[in-house]
Amino acid sequence: MRSSRWTKRIVVQGILGMVVVGTAWADAPAPKWYDTIGLSGYVQESYTGNLNNPLSKTNKGRQFDVDSNSFMTNAAMLNIIKPVGDSDHYGFVARLMAGRNAHILANSTNGNSDASLFLQEAYMTYALPALTKLQFIAGKFVTSEGVEVVDTINNPNFSEGLLFTYAEPVTHTGLKASYTFNDKVNAMVGVVNGWDLSTDNNSGKTVIWQVAVAPTKKISWSFQGLYGPELADNMSQRLSLDTVLGFNPTDKLSLNAQANWGQQTHDPNTANSTGVIGAGKTHWAGAGLWASYALTSRFTEIGRFEVLSDQNGANRFGVATPSPFLDGTTNQTVKEFTLTHKTQLASNLFTRVEYRHDWSNQAYFERHDGSAVRNQNTLSADVYITF
């Protein structure tokens, strides 16, 4: 944004019935910092029905659509954003969410179970005047991992998938630096409190990174991850490796693939080869595929398939202890297949109808009498408006 702007004015003068049209040039004052602030947001409502009719009225394996057979006000989001300017070289983002999603996120972040509002992001950005391709970001920001994002209206499907829910963090709090080499390559590295931690639970710090390339307009690829202590002690280390490939062969067809692998050392629920409790390693691995096809300018069809497996007691799905499974472990492999139909009702009004089938190699899901079963089927619909 330039500090000054030349504007053209038309000067009209009437002298003795004659009209003289001339031009004059003026150096307009630079806009104030607050003139560049933008406000935006969205409101989302939904309904999710579970064909199992679980006794607990809870959909297992879900992030936000956890309430079965229930209407929900998922989110009311307000974004306050100032982009980095050409003259002042700084910007900021503040994003505040209310609704059911906000309550769930607050509960999973530092245990704020009673919070009705969730500060999704709040960070400042500074670009070096002599090297504007290098930017520093400080505060709370969403993770770089995965295909799906925390704002579900920006995802192909209504429900968040297994990888988003169990294999990735949602936010980080700390400092990161990003560098744009050109329009095809950029990289990021940072130091943060950890995995969904606004305040750290140990004296160590977690390193995050990302390398993203877009060699053509149709192909994109990124590799991101984190490494550092995530439990209350400083001995355990968590490693998350995540990669995403995007391919848009036509204007109507969009394909995405994700692979994720994680490891936790000194897991308190495991033992090493000599039997020492709390000294073992746990692992998890998963993959996902997304396909979106725009039938028309208003109708889009989306399909998703995911698989996530935990090993050696990783227990990414939060199974109760002692384990209710017949083999006595908490290990399981869960898969899901989702079909979503999206309709654009107006320029800023959208709705989605979704069918999702989840299944596991363990009796993990719940039936109407409270008994465990290996599969779950849900039907959902949401409507959201952006502003």
Per-residue pLDDT tens over the stretch 334-378: 999 999 999 999 999 999 999 999 999 999 999 999 999 999 999
Q: Is 164 exposed, middle or buried (0-12, 13-18, 19+ CB in 10 A)?
A: buried
Tell whether omega for the bond before 322 is within 30 degrees of 0, i.e. cis. yes
Helices (H), the chain: 100-108, 162-166
Q: Does domain 5-386 have CATH number 3.50.50.60?
A: no
pLDDT at residue 9 tops 70: no
The SS3 assignment for 193 reads: coil
Phi-psi region of 374 (alpha: psi -120 to 50; beta: other; left: phi over 0): alpha
The SS3 assignment for 134 reads: strand
Residue 15 confidence class, pLDDT cut points 50, 70, 90 = very low
Query: Among 33, 37, 11, 36, which residue's Cα sits nearest to residue 22?
Result: 11
pLDDT at residue 64 tops 90: yes
CB distance 158 to 152 below 8 Å: yes
**Sign for the pseudo-dihedral over CA of 14, 19, 20, 21:** positive
What pLDDT, in 10s, does the model give residues 73-121?
999 999 999 999 888 899 999 999 999 999 999 887 655 556 789 999 9
What pLDDT, in 10s, does the model give residues 202-241?
889 999 999 999 999 999 999 999 999 998 877 889 999 9
Mean pLDDT of the chain: 89
Residue 3 confidence class, pLDDT cut points 50, 70, 90 = very low
pLDDT above 70 coverage of the chain, percent: 88
Q: What Rg do the C-alpha atoms of the chain give, in angstroms?
A: 25
Query: Among 191, 72, 203, which residue's Cα sits nearest to residue 138?
Result: 191
CB distance 342 to 350 below 8 Å: yes
The SS3 assignment for 93 reads: strand
Supply the pLDDT for residue 108: 72
What is the C-alpha to C-alpha distance for residues 158 and 340, in angstroms, rounded to an integer?
7
What pLDDT, in 10s, does the model give residues 368-383?
999 999 999 999 999 9
The SS3 assignment for 181 reads: coil
pLDDT at residue 249 tops 80: yes
Residue 32 confidence class, pLDDT cut points 50, 70, 90 = confident
What pLDDT, in 10s, does the model give residues 144-193?
999 999 999 999 999 999 999 999 999 999 999 999 999 999 999 999 99
CB distance 81 to 38 below 8 Å: yes
Pairing state of beta strands 375-386 and 38-50?
antiparallel
Supply the pLDDT for residue 105: 93
CB distance 68 to 54 below 8 Å: yes
Give the containing element (helix H, strand E) for 170: none
Supply the pLDDT for residue 233: 78
Supply the pLDDT for residue 19: 39
pLDDT at residue 51 tops 90: yes
Supply the pLDDT for residue 100: 95
Supply the pLDDT for residue 111: 53
pLDDT at residue 59 tops 70: yes
Model confidence, pTM: 0.88
Supply the pLDDT for residue 202: 87
